[in-house]
Amino acid sequence: MARKKIIAGNWKMNKTPSEAVELAKTLIPLVADADVDVVFCVPAIDIVPVVETVQGTNIHVGGENLYFEDKGAYTGEISADMLLDAGAEYVIMGHSERRGYFHETDEDINRKLKKALEKGLKPIVCCGESLAQREQGICFDWIRMQIKIAFQGVSAEDAKKVVIAYEPIWAIGTGKTATADQAEEVCKAIRDVIGEIYDTDTAEAIRIQYGGSMNAGNCRELLAKPDIDGGLIGGASLKPDFGKIVNYDK
């Protein structure tokens, strides 16, 4: 069965609640005819107003992070139940900015993934290598390790619900996109490692996005690749360009 493409915006720490509502209103008509799954992953404080704004449209809302405990004394953290109650369906985890600035480990991401799946959130699990790792020739080893640790203890049935985002760190926010061939090569390697952990069925079902300076100009070539099932879009998700990306096939 063909995998439905999924294009998700990652708004990062960019919009106040009132600005987020304005952006959502601008984007609603621009994405209304999309054949892909459209997701806005927004700052936690923006989730409720954005969910209200996009009600009745084809837009799904996600968080940008969650904590792996159910509740308790974790000042500043957001639980899966909080995200769900606010109306989020998806949640990003393991973004390289969270790994880098907030010291998240692969083990943390594994706990977050299991918690999201237990609670019924749809996870978007990020992985990606730095420029140094690519130059050292360990890109594939690194990504395989990130995926293997993230999916420890996750059943095949649950793994099929996960979206993986391959985001080379050197391409994020830099304007330097991986070539379509480079992105495809790694997305295929990710599908292969999922096949090794689970089976061909699971590998064929799981959706793998590319992220890193994807924009209206380069999306078509990237999304034409057989193992690239969508995009995780940062900078271009804050602009009307996002509408062009979700309509890349028109």
Tell me the catalytic residues: 95, 167
Closer CB to ligand PGA, 43 or 202, in the complex: 43
- Measured between alpha carbons, how far is 109 from 208 in angstroms, rounded to an integer? 17
Provide, rounded to whole angstroms, the least separation between the CB of residue 141 and ligand PGA.
Answer: 22
Sign of the alpha-carbon dihedral angle for 214, 215, 218, 219? positive
Provide, rounded to whole angstroms, the least separation between the CB of residue 232 and ligand PGA.
Answer: 4
Q: Of 185, 93, 204, which is closest to residue 140 (Cα–Cα)?
A: 185
Provide, rounded to whole angstroms, the least separation between the CB of residue 204 and ligand PGA.
Answer: 25
Find where tokens 């996870």 sit.
123
Number of residues that bind ligand PGA (CB under 6 A): 13
Cβ-closest position to ligand PGA: 234
Closer CB to ligand PGA, 37 or 167, in the complex: 167
Q: Of 193, 203, 235, 190, which is closest to residue 217 (Cα–Cα)?
A: 235
The mark string for 210-239 relative to ligand PGA (x by CB under 6 A, - otherwise) is -xxxx-----------------xxxxx---
The mark string for 140-159 relative to ligand PGA (x by CB under 6 A, - otherwise) is --------------------
Closer CB to ligand PGA, 123 or 235, in the complex: 235
Q: Structure tokens of 96?
A: 């390289």
- Cβ atoms of 61 and 40 closer than 8 Å: yes
Figure out which of the listed residues 173, 217, 226, 240 binds ligand PGA, where binding follows CB under 6 A: 173
Find where tokens 């237990």 sit.
118
Asked if 6 interacts with ligand PGA (CB under 6 A), we say no
Asked if 94 interacts with ligand PGA (CB under 6 A), we say no
- Measured between alpha carbons, how far is 128 from 112 in angstroms, rounded to an integer? 18
Among the residue ranges 68-76, 100-108, 189-197, 207-215, the one whose residues contact ligand PGA (CB under 6 A): 207-215
Closer CB to ligand PGA, 155 or 174, in the complex: 174
Provide, rounded to whole angstroms, the least separation between the CB of residue 11 and ligand PGA.
Answer: 10
Provide, rounded to whole angstroms, the least separation between the CB of residue 73 and ligand PGA.
Answer: 30
Using alpha carbons, list the distances in angstroms from residue 223 to 27, 72, 185, 217, 246: 21, 42, 13, 12, 10
- Measured between alpha carbons, how far is 236 from 238 in angstroms, rounded to an integer? 5
Q: Where are the beta strands (DSSP E) in the chain?
A: 6-10, 37-41, 59-63, 90-93, 122-127, 163-166, 207-211, 230-233
Asked if 43 interacts with ligand PGA (CB under 6 A), we say no
- Interface residues with ligand PGA (CB under 6 A) are 10, 167, 172-173, 211-214, 232-236
